[in-house]
Chains A and B, each alone.
Chain A
């Protein structure tokens, strides 16, 4: 039991003393997960809107594919991205392996289906009368689209939070593509995995606390935004 208590004490020490390896891992995590969340929203929002708003042939199959992608294991994404951005792979010339950019690519693939699926279902659930009312009021196509998007803003916010939670906590992609390089691509989750492997639970618990705190702050600020 002692080491768990010691872990909490160590956690506070590391954070307060501004330990550089802890804080660079925190910073790397924030950078990469924010970046991949934004990229996935940028790509997922329009896709989700199209999928939810329009009815077309084969939509059902597309949804099935999307739902399958929701279950993509991070190690598989890690493996695929690794193979593609390794020097021997098709995108090898960019030298993206063992960089935060590489991790961001993998995490975007992870978060994209989440954003798309949540956006699509919120759009689908819009009151059908809204569209009719808008049409009767003589609104233009563009106006209808923006009004619909505004109506589902909380749904989109939920998509963003869910996506952020997923990329913030994943370890498979960060480990395989990032290589867990100290001061560079070591994120909070890969650092925890490493410390546990080394039997240093205190450092692991410290980083775990930070991770939970970040998740808490993100959710808190979003709920604040919602109240505005």
Chain B
């Protein structure tokens, strides 16, 4: 008898679980693909609850590189994108995958490395710094994942007149997110390129005393623009274009822009709002 009871108990738990799993609210939820920096820094954890209470839309996101995010949009596996590769984004819209592109915030890229700076790049401009890294064969960690940061990095090597050191021993492609790549650089005492927001997040997880320091910054070319992209309904009729547009509008609204402005770690601003 008691065995029967136990079994029926287990069965009912199981059925509840199956029902719980199959009843997933679909009606008002928006799926976003985004870059690792907006997720790793905690910006989305901070912004999204505001968006959800103000609009009643549930926003879910998957954090990956911009390259993969664009691909997810092209395959209609998501509804909206928050990415940072302006050149690729414009091409994306021209190819008929994306519809509206709205610039919402920016920060800048920096080259970070060990305080001892074995390649002596501190204070150099970006092209000279990359040339120094190459001639000193200094360990450099690349994202290597076709993310927005990785796309930018490739452009920078090209601008510096260096063929991408794809197969060089000192050029390490992690294939991982930004914060993960910074941690690899730290473990290997190497250099890497990151957006400033993720760097500040890294500093704050190290209690403000991070082993890797900013060595190169400030060139105009290092600007890092983030934009919200909606998908072209012609390519993706199943995507929630209406909700995507609402998200895009909200990100450009005064409320969201002020929230972004107030998002700080260690007293520093991670992203600077610039929606028009």
Contact = CB atoms under 8 A, between A and B. Distances in A.
17 contacts: A30-B17, A34-B14, A35-B21, A38-B18, A87-B76, A87-B236, A92-B76, A97-B77, A99-B24, A100-B21, A101-B22, A104-B21, A179-B62, A182-B61, A198-B183, A198-B205, A199-B202
A38 B10 CA distance: 12
Contacts of A228: 2-3, 6
B10 to A, nearest CB: 9
Interface residues of A, number: 29
B17 to A, nearest CB: 5
A60 to B, nearest CB: 36
A118 to B, nearest CB: 20
Given A198-B179, A198-B180, A199-B183, A87 B75 contact: yes
A133 B40 CA distance: 66
B51 to A, nearest CB: 14
Q: Which interface residue of A92, A199, A200 has the most chain B CB atoms within 10 A? A: A199
A201 B202 CA distance: 14
Interface of A: 30-32, 34-35, 38, 86-88, 92, 95, 97-101, 104, 179-184, 197-200, 225, 228
Main secondary structure of the interface of A (DSSP, over half): loop
A100 B60 contact: no
Interface residues of B, number: 33
A108 B81 CA distance: 31
Contacts of B6: 225, 228
A104 B18 CA distance: 11
A115 B29 CA distance: 36
